[in-house]
With several copies, the nearest count.
Chain A
Amino acid sequence: MAQMNLLQAINNALDIAMAENDSALCFGEDVGHFGGVFRATSGLQEKYGKARCFNTPLVEQGIIGFANGLAAQGSTPIAEIQFADYIFPAFDQIVNESAKFRYRSGNEFNVGNLTIRTPYGGGIAGGLYHSQSPEAYFAHTPGLKIVVPRNPYQAKGLLLASIRDDNPVIFFEPKRLYRASVGEVPEEDYQLPIGKAEVTEQGSDITLLAWGAQMEIIEKAAEMAKKDGISCELIDLRTILPWDVDTVANSVLKTGRLLISQEAPLTAGFASEIAATIQQECFLHLESPIERVCGIDTPYPLSLEKEHAADHLKVYEAIKRSINY
């Protein structure tokens, strides 16, 4: 075991993936010699050569198009989009191409080897275009898998699983935690399951559900609630698509209450899908409405970012609201 921050854990996973598989490539804007603007690919060009780890021209639709082609050919592309806010020029290549490649061809061809890594999320004074959490934009797309880790240990295990998964995976990295989150990470190879949520804390009064950097927020809120004698069960969804209905539903059957918190704005966020499904799965067991604590329905602001955010205080208030319903 070693102490790693989230970036190091990701770098380590990429290193393992490239070492074991000659056809694995890492590329994207500034990903080569420089190692990416966050340095997630640091040292990989030196180790694996310029043919396997390189800068691309500045064109997201090209990066993912190129990656789709590589994946179809049998290589294992791991493409980086510099910020999740800049993934939209590649939306067509992801939603119309990556996601539908296998289906439309009757499995004659597929891009299952594709992994897209991209830093997401706010809280770093990034304003409209360095803060977005766009997971829900992709979640309406059968054929994609979407994974979000909450800490270094999860990041390494889930990224290795994503790279090896035989479906296109978008791997959203919580950039606020890149250096802030440090933890024990095994140096050897391991994988964590895609498609499985994790109960990170048992509780009996209410289920709190989040993913990625937002886990920290609900943990903090749960601490506050504990002082009021409220016992929270915490779940990290980990995979947004396809998501683990059973783990969430089982928890809610037990606690009778659900709160979902996401960084992204409320309307049509992924919390809505979860609420819609769980109200159906657990209808007779719900003791209060499912709460969604999300960003305000605006573009991501700069100076009022605290006000915009779904912070622990807003989550805490919503816990009390739910309990006292």
Chain B
Amino acid sequence: MNTDIYKEGPVVHNAAFIDGHSVEIPILKILQQDGTVYQGAELPKINEEHAVKIYKALAFHRALDERMIGAQRQGRISFYMAALGEEAASIGGAAGLEAQDMIMAQYREQGALIYRGFSLENFMNQMFSNEKDLGKGRQMPIHYGSNELNYMTISSPLGTQIPQAAGYAYGQKLQGKDAVTLCYFGEGAASEGDFHAGLNMAAVHNAPVIFFCRNNGYAISTPSDEQYVGNGIASRGVGYGMKTIRIDGNDILAVLKAVQLARAYAIEESKPVMIEAMSYRLGAHSTSDDPSGYRTKEEEEKWHAHDPLSRMKSWMLAQNWWDEAQETALFEQLREDILAAVKVAEKIAKPPVEDLVSDVYDQVPEHLQKQLTSLKAHIKKYPEAYPLTAGRIK
């Protein structure tokens, strides 16, 4: 037990407030938009193979987002959320981890799943909520999850994964695993009570978790200056006694560097770290949103110039790890594959009626079994009213 209940600061006899902005927070930038590295910048661990893998993930993400926004417009899927302009945060995050590390994301981090090799089919099956969806067609599009890939299934309620990540990481540590948990959240979600709970608990209990805030300037229509008036989210780190770093979130090398360092620190010191990645949500919040109701085209234009893809591409070209022919071929192939996968996935049947009641508990309890039985009888009576399941009821 420690009775030093605060860190002794200087004793003063004249009252003065600490200013609300008294922590200075540097921002780490490694890669410039033209693809050159800042003078004196220290690169993350990266080689050609790794760089190509990362770049391909970025390209896949961009192609997927563009295509699926289209698919939603055509009415083929009900909903979609893109990460246009902020793909480096999710992909760089995953690229800085090991495969055994758990990722607990908010929803705009499909990039991490792409990087980890979630198949195109798996993406499609989820979005079309067909019977091959790992999630059994129960959640809205983009609520992916994969046990095999250590990517926790997305949950719509914001912020809930933050204290969960602290607990998950604590369990990893207790069981002596060489693994951390990386927890993504938006600057909007950082206002939730669960954020405070999760960060403080992780700090007090020394959980090896990397809290990764994607600060993209908006929470739906709410600009960040109506979300908080402190210095971003990073300024909260000192409140939890937590090591913290702010980075340019559109700079893939900065993201990679920060996550590599954070992981090493979390493992070695068994302590949490916070990363704040500054970016901008270039597109709409989701396909249900229209940003023209709350911001200007000019503002968006400004940020187009900071595109993380073209930035990395320029660097790759300069490294001679990539060329324009590969670029064209890659995007063509991606578009083709995605279109084909859409066509396959939309023809796969929806989950059977049994999946309505499974997984509520580990086993279907009696009352649910009864409800299922009478539901089946009912569907048989009115098959045309339940076209998705009627055909397959025995």
Contact = CB atoms under 8 A, between A and B. Distances in A.
Q: Are chains A and B touching directly in their complex (CB below 8 angstroms)?
A: yes
Contacts of B155: 96-97, 100, 104, 129
B220 A125 contact: no
Interface stretch (A180-188, A226-234, A293-301): A293-301
A19 interface: no
Interface in A114-167: 125-130, 142-143, 145, 166-167
Interface stretch (A5-13, A29-37, A210-218, A251-259): A29-37
A112 B221 contact: no
B237 interface: no
A301 B135 CA distance: 11
B120 interface: no
Contacts of B189: 58
Between A34, A246, A313, the greatest number of chain B beta carbons within 10 A of the residue's beta carbon is seen for A34
Chain B interface category by residue count: 35 or more
Interface string A22-59: 01010001101111010000000000000110111111
Chain A interface category by residue count: 35 or more
Interface string B171-201: 1101100000100000011011110111011
Given A30-B222, A106-B133, A242 B366 contact: yes
Between A73, A97, A126, A296, the greatest number of chain B beta carbons within 10 A of the residue's beta carbon is seen for A73
Contacts of B12: none
Interface stretch (A62-70, A171-179, A198-206, A283-291): A62-70
Contacts of A301: 137-138, 356
A267 B230 CA distance: 45
A20 interface: no
A245 interface: yes
A192 interface: no
Given A61-B194, A75-B175, A298-B357, A314 B163 contact: no
A246 to B, nearest CB: 8
A232 to B, nearest CB: 19
Given A106-B133, A106-B134, A302-B140, A69 B164 contact: yes
Contacts of A128: 138-139, 156
Contact of A97 (B136, B164, B351, B358): B164
B6 interface: no
A126 B143 CA distance: 12
A96 B194 CA distance: 13
Contacts of A35: 293
Given A58-B227, A65-B194, A108-B147, A298 B221 contact: no
A304 B221 contact: no
Nearest to B151: A108
A266 to B, nearest CB: 8
B371 A307 contact: no
Contacts of A317: 378, 381
Interface of B: 1, 78-79, 102, 104, 129-130, 133-140, 143, 145-147, 152-153, 155-158, 160, 162-172, 174-175, 181, 188-189, 191-194, 196-198, 200-201, 204-205, 219-222, 226-228, 288-289, 293-294, 350-351, 353, 355-362, 365-368, 371-372, 375, 378-379, 381-382, 385-386, 388-389
Given A96-B155, A109-B152, 4 more contacts: A59-B200, A66-B164, A307-B353, A311-B385
Q: What 8 A-B pairs are tightest by C-beta distance, nearest first?
A: A65-B163, A69-B167, A62-B197, A69-B164, A105-B153, A129-B156, A73-B171, A34-B221
Interface of A: 23, 25, 29-30, 32-35, 37, 51-52, 54-62, 64-75, 77, 85-86, 88-89, 92-93, 96-97, 100, 102-110, 112, 125-130, 142-143, 145, 166-167, 195, 242, 245-246, 266-267, 296-299, 301-304, 306-308, 311, 313-314, 317
18 contacts: A35-B293, A37-B220, A65-B201, A66-B205, A69-B104, A69-B170, A72-B164, A73-B167, A96-B155, A104-B138, A106-B138, A109-B145, A296-B375, A297-B371, A298-B356, A302-B129, A302-B137, A317-B381
